[in-house]
Amino acid sequence: MSVELPKLGGKFIQMEDEIGSMASIIGASIGGLKSMTATSGPGISLMQENIGYAVITETPCLIVNVQRGGPSTGLPTMPSQGDILQARWGTHGDHPIITIYPHTVPEIFEETIRSVELSEKYRIPVILLLDEVIGHMREKIDIEKVDKNKSFKRKTPDVPNEWFFPYERNSSGVPAFADFGEGYRYHITGLVHDVDGFPTSKPDQIDAFMKRMFRKIDDNLDDILDWEEYELEDSEYMILAAGCVARSAKQAIRTLRDEHGIKIGLLRPKTIWPFISSVLIDKAQDKKKIFVPEMNMGQLLLPTQRFASSICDILPFNKINGEAIYPHELVSFIRRNI
């Protein structure tokens, strides 16, 4: 980006640390720019405090986290899916968040654009969660598919400045964003604030603010959630997997179907947070078992159990040795367990 951005009139800066990187992209977004940062491992932990600041101030921005094995400095640069729950609950306090989890290089390209749009549209930081396996992979991207003239613009105020409420409770749940310098002089704070942007400690105002923050996401799940169904139509068994594990799962499904006659398919969340709970409940209905392979000790397993444990059996497959999950491992695990 340090090479490409100046050519397009964009700005790049290498900050002193990841705390500063996260802070500066929020500052840039307040100034009206689309902004992003990228990191891995300890860097994402350092960013957590200011990710919370972006949530509470409703400042759009994109954070790319290429996961490595952890904790601490952990396993640079070996694959892991250890940050799935951190992406949801990494910053302190109750809060909504959007996390997108692509599984191929072209999909990273498409989903980055979608992530920025979601972030601007719902005024929320979006985490683009990647696997190291895909982060270091080269695949073809069809750039021509992207309409370069189409660029999502955030909703800005359409009232004179005296009538502008920066955190207005409107029907969409998403207030208009006034970029600094446009004549709407207002206050932005990490303290819980009322519609005028100033801190409040009044329970009714706190309640209204917090609930609107959740409502703007919960009311728009149709737009935010995205997932892929692979060979699910006639399947008796289902794999729920994300990222590079879903690629191994697809290969395993081919083998299980073609060589062993097992009717199995894949449900792959592309939007990982908020979780695709209603889709899972729907797809789980006619399944005998759900397999949840992941490169951690059961992070996707938790929401899967929460929504589907009363519907069918759920079996985890966990691998945390710094290697990807291979298709043949899934084939033998699934054959042993059906």
Partner 1 sequence: MEKNVVHKYLRKNKKFPHIWCPGCGHGVIMSSMLRAIDKQGLDRDDVAVVSGIGCSSRTPTYVDFNTIHTTHGRALAFATGLKLAKPDMTVIVVMGDGDAVGIGGNHFIHAARRNMDLKVIVYNNNIYGMTGGQASPTTPSGKKATTARYGNIERSFDICELAKATGAVYVARSTSYHVQALEKYIHRSLSKKGFTVVEAMTHCPTTYGRLNKIKEPVAGMIYQKDHFIMKAAWDKLPEEKREGKFPMGEFVDIEKTDFVSKYLRLIEANKE
Name the residue nearer to partner 1 (CB basis): 11 or 328.
11
Name the residue nearer to partner 1 (CB basis): 18 or 132.
18
194 contributes a contact to partner 1 by CB under 8 A? no
The residue among 38, 35, 214, 223 whose CA lies nearest residue 118 is 223
- In whole angstroms, the minimum distance from the beta carbon of 49 to partner 1 comes to 6
Rounded CA-CA distance 121/136 in Å is 30
User: What are the contacts of 195-200 at 24+ separation with CB within 8 A?
Assistant: 195/165, 195/166, 195/167, 195/168, 195/169, 196/165, 196/166, 196/167, 197/165, 197/166, 197/167
- Whether 99 and 127 have beta carbons less than 8 Å apart is answered as yes
**Which of residues 1, 11, 73, 332 is near partner 1 by CB under 8 A?**
11
- In whole angstroms, the minimum distance from the beta carbon of 162 to partner 1 comes to 10
- Length of the chain in terms of residues written: 338
- In whole angstroms, the minimum distance from the beta carbon of 33 to partner 1 comes to 4
**Which of residues 42, 190, 298, 322 is near partner 1 by CB under 8 A?**
190
202 contributes a contact to partner 1 by CB under 8 A? no
Stretch that binds partner 1, among 13-21, 101-109, 227-235, 237-245 (CB under 8 A): 13-21
26 contributes a contact to partner 1 by CB under 8 A? yes
32 contributes a contact to partner 1 by CB under 8 A? yes
CB within 8 Å of 114: residues ≥ 6 apart: 100, 226
183 contributes a contact to partner 1 by CB under 8 A? yes
How many residues bind partner 1 (CB under 8 A)? The answer is 41
Q: How far apart are the first and last CA of the chain?
A: 48
20 contributes a contact to partner 1 by CB under 8 A? yes
- In whole angstroms, the minimum distance from the beta carbon of 86 to partner 1 comes to 19
**Which of residues 31, 136, 211, 282 is near partner 1 by CB under 8 A?**
31
Rounded CA-CA distance 280/267 in Å is 8
Rounded CA-CA distance 265/188 in Å is 47
Rounded CA-CA distance 217/97 in Å is 8
Name the residue nearer to partner 1 (CB basis): 48 or 248.
48
x/- letters, 35..74, toward partner 1 (CB under 8 A): x-------------xx--x---------------------
211 contributes a contact to partner 1 by CB under 8 A? no
7 contributes a contact to partner 1 by CB under 8 A? yes
298 contributes a contact to partner 1 by CB under 8 A? no
Q: Is 28 helix (H, G, I), strand (E, B) or coil?
A: helix
In the structure encoding, which two tokens stand for residue 299, read together?
């992070």
- In whole angstroms, the minimum distance from the beta carbon of 64 to partner 1 comes to 17
- In whole angstroms, the minimum distance from the beta carbon of 101 to partner 1 comes to 26
Instruction: Please name the helix (run of DSSP H) or strand (run of DSSP E) that holds residue 115, with its range, or none.
Output: helix 105-122
185 contributes a contact to partner 1 by CB under 8 A? yes
* Residue 331, number of CB atoms within 10 A of its CB: 20
Alpha carbon dihedral 219, 223, 225, 231, in 10-degree steps, equals: 130
Rounded CA-CA distance 26/53 in Å is 9
Name the residue nearer to partner 1 (CB basis): 59 or 86.
59
Name the site residues for partner 1 (rule: CB under 8 A): 6-9, 11, 13, 15-17, 19-21, 23-33, 35, 49-50, 53, 180-183, 185-191, 196, 198-199
